[in-house]
Structure 1
Amino acid sequence: MRTFRNYTLPSHNLLSILFLLTFACFHGHDVQAWSKEGHVMTCQIAQKLLEPEAAHAVEMLLPDYVNGNLSALCVWPDQVRHWYKYRWTSPLHFIDTPDQACNFKYQRDCHDPNGVKDMCVAGAIQNFTTQLSHYKEGNSDRRHNMTEALLFLSHFMGDIHQPMHVGFTTDEGGNTINLRWFRHKSNLHHVWDREIIQTAAADYYGKDMDLLRQGIQSNFTDGVWSDDLASWQECDDLSTCVNKYAAESINLACKWGYKGVEAGETLSDDYFNSRMPIVMKRIAQGGVRLAMILNHIFGDPREEQGLLAAT
């Protein structure tokens, strides 16, 4: 597995300054990923499922000013992707698959627009997981910024579970399919990134995102997904598991994202009601699986070795 970038670990103060400057520059701009709310919920779900050793490691890696709250920085990779220093990370947020193929093949699909291999969200998850696996080596490996690796991994585990992030090449995962969401202009990618989440929050939770997140969690703790939780957490080999997550997304994109949608039309209640449970389930799966990976990385070294055997 290739390493995308080598750079030294800056201080937490520098990361804080970079975050604040980035937020000031990009606040209000459209970003092509789970919305801020989607990423925040994914990371909140994951952090609540961390075992003590992993929870401590995550807290140690986060800058002091977020007070141990991983979700406060889960949107950071979107905010820096167009900065010169981080421009190389832009292709890592998605996977473009052949139009209408409706499947994912790593060797065929995981590359950037110039054909550079491993430069996609599936490759990025493997890469940053491998980087974080050096955490317990202390200061012996200074090549990678462990804090940034944590933020990228957390963000990309959200991205790979957003079905339209593993979409068709020609329409850029639905970004060029312009339409209307109820009464306002949007596009198919943005519908899955943000519109469905915000509509669900407004219609059922009084726009309270924390209540929405609690509703999602209750569905896998003692609700309709509780019998599926154990299977979501299963992973003996990271490469195989990440490929599975990407395959799930393109399958959902074909069956539920693209199906029956034409450019210029209006999507409303029928589309929302049938797709909303899928979006919520993918946020849940992303959070559960992120926790599983972090628990492997920062927990029992024997489990970590098994997870990373093929990377």
Structure 2
Amino acid sequence: MEVNHIEELKRVMVSIVRLLPVLAALVVATAPGARSWSKEGHILTCRIAQTLLDDGAAEVVHNLLPDYADGDLSSLCVWPDQIRHWYRFRWTSPLHFIDTPDSACTFDYSRDCHDLNGAEDMCVAGAVRNFTSQLMHYHHGSSDRRYNLTEALLFLSHFMGDIHQPMHVGFSDDKGGNSIQVRWFRHKSNLHHVWDREIILTALADYYDKNLDLFLGDLQKNLTKGIWSDDISSWRTCDNLLSCSTKYATESIDLACKWGYNGVTQGETLADEYFESRMPVVMKRIAQGGVSPNNTIQNDAKKGYI
């Protein structure tokens, strides 16, 4: 009888674990002020990252993912957004963005990478450094250590998307464009949300028949034999963890100033001209976010770190 109770408890726990992503999605759907690529942006970034992996790195990722992910990294790419308001993970909330001095249009790690209390490294650039380091230095070990590696993989994949979203490295005063109210065509929005989701959804509707696979296919063609094929090596090139995260953040604040904030005023209606000129920037940053973690995971797998 005791054995039966134990087996039943195991079945209940498995059911609870499988429900966690659903419960988390409900939390994030009702949470105010979310700041992140849309789920579509993160899914695209993670699909690109996974499709570029060689066999060894692909096996590592498959082994680190929980069984219910069915080997699909993109199915859990929004997990860090889903759990950021849970008590256990509230500390991760500042890791999704960087607030830079208003109108400075520069990023300085020592100046900008901290939370509201001044704790150092508590920004998305610090998160990229931290979770990359975890994947580099953890070896095969206990089940607890392997679980932490799973978290490191999911956090890195997600934050690599966030750091490539230009408005995630925005100005402090307007919270990365969150307080700049605009109209996106006919409905109310804000500048941050325009870059998080509005541009992506409009592109999906106008050019891809709302089919994410078609969108992904277009990005992949640009990477393999299109306009970005000669640029991939430069996207992957940086000297160390600090220079890598600084590079991504600097690119984002530069794009935020040139394309995000430029010409936008409070209450303005953003429509065709803004969409058509900014969509290529969004598409490229989604692709860059997929190429960068792919390079990290691939190198770590080859060196036997993971």
Larger of the two Rg values belongs to structure: 2
Give matches, 1:79-228, under 5 Å.
79-139=82-142, 142=145, 145-228=148-231
- Structure 2 gaps, min length 5: 1-12
Check whether the contact 1:121–1:159 (CA below 8 A) recurs between aligned residues.
yes
Q: Deviations over 1:214-240 (max 9, x none)?
A: 111111111111111111122331211
Identity of aligned residues (%): 63
TM-score, with length taken from structure 1 = 0.89
Report the CA distance between 1:12 and its aligned residue: 8.1
Structure 2 distance, partners of 1:131, 1:284, is: 24
One-letter amino acid of the counterpart of residue 21, structure 1: L
Please give the alpha-carbon distance, in whole angstroms, between the structure 2 residues aligned to 1:222 and 1:91: 37
Match of 2:20 in 1: 18
Kept after mapping to 2: 8 A contact 1:13/1:63: no
* AA at the equivalent of 1:24: L
CA apart distance, 1:300: 2.2
- CA 64–141 in structure 1, closer or farther in 2 if over 3 Å, else same: closer
Q: Is the 8 A contact 1:131 1:144 kept in 2?
A: no
Q: TM-score normalised to the size of structure 2?
A: 0.91
Aligned-residue offset at 1:130: 1.4
Give 1:142 deviation, angstroms: 3.6
Task: Give the drift of 1:125.
Answer: 0.8
> Given that residues 98 and 113 in structure 2 are in contact (C-alpha distance below 8 angstroms), is that contact kept between their aligned partners in structure 1?
yes
Query: Which residue identity lines up with residue 22 of structure 1 in the other structure?
Result: A
Residue 261 of structure 2 is aligned to residue 258 of structure 1 = yes
Query: Aligned partners of 2:26 and 2:143: how far apart in 1?
Result: 35
Cα distance in structure 2, aligned partners of 1:273 and 1:20: 35
CA shift, 1:281, in A, is 0.2
Q: Which amino acid aligns with 1:48?
A: T
In the alignment, the residues of structure 2 paired with residue 148 and residue 18 of structure 1 have an alpha-carbon distance, to the nearest angstrom, of 14
Aligned CA distance change for structure 1 residues 140 and 235 (closer, same or farther; 3 Å): farther
Instruction: Return closer, same or farther for 1:123/1:181 CA change in 2, 3 Å cut-off.
Output: same
* Worse-superposed segment, 99-108 or 212-221: 212-221
Alignment pair present for 1:272 and 2:275: yes
CA distance in 2, matches of 1:226, 1:33: 27
Q: Secondary structure at the match of 2:218?
A: helix
**Alignment partner of 1:283 out of 279, 286, 289:** 286
Residues 235 and 241 in structure 1, CA contact (< 8 A), matched pair in contact too: yes
Cα distance in 1 for partners of 2:19, 2:71 equals: 17
Tell me the C-alpha RMSD between the 2 structures. Answer: 2.0
Match of 1:62 among 54, 62, 65: 65
CA distance in 2, matches of 1:273, 1:184: 18
Once the two structures are overlaid, the 10-residue window that deviates more, 80-89 or 16-25, is 16-25
Q: Give the corresponding residue for 1:3.
A: none
Deviation sequence 1:34-89 (CA, Å, 0-9, x none) = 00000000000000011211111111111101110000000010011111111110
| 8 Å contact from structure 2 (residues 115, 123) kept in 1 | yes
SS of 1:206's partner is coil
CA-to-partner distance for each residue in 1:155-175, whole Å, 9 max, x for gaps? 000000000000000000000
